Amino acid sequence: MLYKGSCHCGNVKYEVEGEIKGAIMCNCSICRRKGTPLAFFPRTSMKLLTPEDALATYTFNKHVIKHHFCKTCGIHPFGEGTDPKGNATVAISLNCLEDFDPASVPVQQYDGRSL
Domain boundaries, the chain: 2-110
Beta strands in the chain (DSSP E): 2-6, 13-17, 23-26, 38-42, 46-48, 55-58, 66-70, 78-82, 88-93, 107-110
What values do phi and psi take at 77, rounded to 5? -80, -25
pLDDT digits (tens, 9 = 90+) for 19-53: 999 999 999 999 999 999 999 999 999 999 999 99
The stretch 57-81 carries a mean pLDDT of: 93
Per-residue burial over 78-110, b = 16 or more CB atoms within 10 Å of its CB, e = otherwise: bbbbeeeeeeebbbbbbbbbeebebeebeeeeb
Is the pLDDT confidence value at 115 over 80? no
Helix%, strand%, coil% for the chain, nearest 5: 15, 40, 45
Mean pLDDT, the chain, whole residue set: 95
The CATH T-level fold of domain 2-110 is 2.170.150
